[in-house]
C-alpha cells in the first residue's frame, strides 16, 4: 500500500508542480517546448506505469461492501464519463496541447467546449467517482482517489498556465466557457448547440462504452453489470 500511495502522490505532483506551475515556464525556456513536452510525456508514462503496477501488487484490504444499488449509479456515471472523454478528445480545444491556435478563431468555444472547457478531465472525474462507488478495498480507494484529485486540480492548473502564456486571448475564451459543466450556459455566457458536437462523436462514445462494458470482465476480471 505504501508503494501505491507513493506512486499516486508522485503522479499527481508531477502534473501539479511541474506541468501546471511556473516551473514549467522555466523548463520550457531552458529546454524548448518540444523537448519539455517529450520529457514530461515520458515522465508521465513512467509514473502511470508505476501506479498501475503498484495497484496490481497491493494487498486486498476490504474497507466496506458497496450496496448493489450503487452499481446502477456507477453505470450512469460511466456513460457520461465516456461521452465527456470521447467527445472531448475528438474536439479541437485550446486547453489541449497543440490546440492553442483555436484561441485565434472568431468563436473558439464550440461543441462540447460550450458545456465545459475541460471535458476530458470531467470524464476522468466521473470515471474515478463511479469506480469509488463500487470498489470497497483500500487499493482501489487510493487508485481512484488519485485520478479524482488530479481531475479536480487539473483544470485550475491548465487555466492558470494558459492565462500566463496567452493573456487576453485566453481571457476571451475563458469568458464564454466554464470549468463546471453547463455553468457558462446557465449564466447566459454561452448556449448549447448539439449540432456542433456532431452525431458521429456521440455514436463513437456509445460504441466504445458498449465495447468496454461487454469486455470489462475479460480485461479487468469483474463484471460492471448490476445483475451479475
Give the C-alpha separation, 198 to 30, whole Å: 41
Low-confidence ranges of the chain (pLDDT < 50): none
Local structure of residue 6 (DSSP, 8 states): H
The pLDDT, as a whole number, for residue 17 is 83
The pLDDT value recorded for residue 195 is 93
3-class secondary structure, 17: helix
Dihedral, CA atoms, 5, 215, 76, 137, nearest 10 degrees?
A: -30
- The b/e string for 84-113 (b: 16+ C-beta within 10 A; e otherwise) is bbbbbbbbebbbeeeebebbeeeebbbbbb
Beta bridge partners of 62: 137
What is the pTM (predicted TM-score) of this model?
Answer: 0.90
- Give residue 218's pLDDT: 77
Provide the grid cell at 10. 508522485
**pLDDT (0 to 100) of residue 92:** 93
62 phi and psi angles, rounded to 5 deg:
-80, 125
State residue 228's pLDDT score.
Answer: 60
Q: What is the pLDDT of residue 61?
A: 93
Amino acid at each position: 500500500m505504501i508503494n501505491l500511495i507513493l506512486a499516486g502522490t508522485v503522479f499527481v505532483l508531477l502534473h501539479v508542480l511541474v506541468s501546471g506551475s511556473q516551473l514549467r515556464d522555466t523548463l520550457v525556456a531552458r529546454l524548448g517546448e518540444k523537448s519539455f513536452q517529450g520529457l514530461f510525456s515520458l515522465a508521465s508514462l513512467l509514473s502511470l506505469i508505476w501506479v498501475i503496477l503498484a495497484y496490481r501488487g497491493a494487498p486486498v484490504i476490504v474497507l466496506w461492501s458497496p450496496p448493489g444499488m450503487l452499481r446502477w449509479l456507477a453505470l450512469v456515471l460511466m456513460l457520461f464519463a465516456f461521452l465527456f472523454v470521447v467527445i472531448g478528445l475528438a474536439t479541437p480545444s485550446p486547453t489541449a496541447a497543440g490546440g492553442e491556435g483555436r484561441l485565434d478563431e472568431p468563436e473558439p468555444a464550440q461543441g462540447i467546449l460550450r458545456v465545459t472547457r475541460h471535458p476530458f478531465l470531467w470524464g476522468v472525474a466521473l470515471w474515478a467517482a463511479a469506480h469509488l462507488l463500487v470498489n470497497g478495498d483500500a487499493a482501489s480507494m487510493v487508485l481512484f482517489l488519485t485520478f479524482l484529485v488530479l481531475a479536480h486540480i487539473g483544470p485550475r492548473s491548465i487555466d492558470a498556465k494558459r492565462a500566463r502564456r496567452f493573456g487576453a486571448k485566453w481571457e476571451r475564451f475563458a469568458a464564454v466557457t466554464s470549468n463546471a459543466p453547463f455553468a457558462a450556459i446557465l449564466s447566459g455566457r454561452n448556449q448549447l448547440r448539439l449540432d456542433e458536437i456532431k452525431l458521429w462523436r456521440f455514436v463513437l462514445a456509445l460504441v466504445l462504452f458498449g465495447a468496454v462494458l461487454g469486455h470489462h470482465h475479460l480485461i479487468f476480471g469483474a463484471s460492471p453489470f448490476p445483475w451479475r
